[in-house]
Amino acid sequence: MKKTTFVFLLLLLIGITGLGFQAAAGNPLAMVVLAVLATVTLIIIGASISLIHARIAAKQQEAQFNANVRENLAIMQQMQTLQNAQSKNLMTQTQHLPEPTGSPLIIDDAIFSELE
């Protein structure tokens, strides 16, 4: 802790203690100042808790998103591996197909004239 911070906190503590004694003695101005200080302090504490909660929630959401991305990438990689294996099998099967034998299929032109 720096020396200036320590001195500032010490003066603040002395001031709040003095206000407390004055408020206990019945000074209305000291009571109002203490009430305002307490209100501001509680608002700052509430805002800090809210910000901390939002930060924790954001980190959790980011972690869940990253886990989801990793899972999706793993699924896509598995699908790609499976598709590659299927493609290799199809290429192997087409290479082992027998050569076509015989004459090609011939369609007589007269068949189209009967359709007219």
- Residues 70-107 have pLDDT tens digits of 999 999 999 999 999 999 999 988 887 777 676 777 77
Query: Residue 107 falls within a domain, yes or no?
Result: no
Instruction: Print the domain residue range for 77.
Output: 3-86
Residue 112 included in any domain: no
Between CA 86 and CA 93, with CA 91 as vertex, the angle to 5 degrees is: 95
Whether residue 105 is contained in a domain is answered as no
Q: How far apart are CA 107 and CA 75, in angstroms?
A: 49
How many folded domains does the chain comprise?
A: 1
Residue 113 maps to a domain:
no
CA atoms of 61 and 54, how far apart (whole Å): 10
To the nearest whole percent, how much of the chain has pLDDT over 90?
Answer: 59
Predicted TM-score (pTM) of the model is 0.56
Residue range 37-41: mean pLDDT, rounded: 93
Q: What pLDDT is stored for residue 99 in this prediction?
A: 76
Q: Is residue 95 part of a domain?
A: no
Q: What is the pLDDT of residue 59?
A: 97
33 assigned to some structural domain: yes
The reply to whether 29 falls in a domain is yes
Structural domain includes residue 15: yes
